[in-house]
């Protein structure tokens, strides 16, 4: 689905064509406007180009931090998966040993 999005931010106006839902684009635009306002508030910078550059940098920083968190979660999930696999194998071995003890006699003789 192709939509046109009119941007009017920091004194710059232009229209872009994107493959995305209109509602999604509105949400992205609102997030971007909020990010710009936050940058202006925390930095005190008012020069539009500088605000845009700093906002872009801060958003990239946030994206990279989220990527690292996802990678760490994935690694932790893989470790958890390996631990689960070891536990499952151990339980299967115990079950087979119990079956063998039942087949070959009472475990009191061992």
Entry pTM: 0.62
The string of pLDDT tens digits covering residues 27-64 is 888 999 999 999 999 999 999 999 999 999 999 999 99
Residue-wise pLDDT for 9-18, tens only, equals 889 898 888 8
What are the domain boundaries of the chain?
2-109
Element (H, E) at 12: strand 12-19
């Amino acid at each position: 689905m192709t939509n046109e999005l009119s941007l009017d931010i920091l004194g710059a106006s232009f229209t872009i064509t994107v493959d995305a839902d209109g509602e999604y684009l509105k949400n992205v635009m609102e997030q971007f406007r909020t990010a710009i306002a936050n940058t202006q508030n925390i930095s005190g910078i008012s020069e539009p180009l500088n605000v845009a550059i700093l906002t872009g940098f801060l958003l990239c920083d946030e994206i990279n931090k989220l990527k690292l968190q996802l990678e760490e979660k994935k690694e932790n999930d893989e470790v958890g998966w390996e631990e689960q696999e070891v536990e499952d194998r151990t339980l299967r071995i115990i079950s087979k040993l119990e079956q063998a003890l039942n087949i070959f006699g009472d475990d009191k003789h061992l």
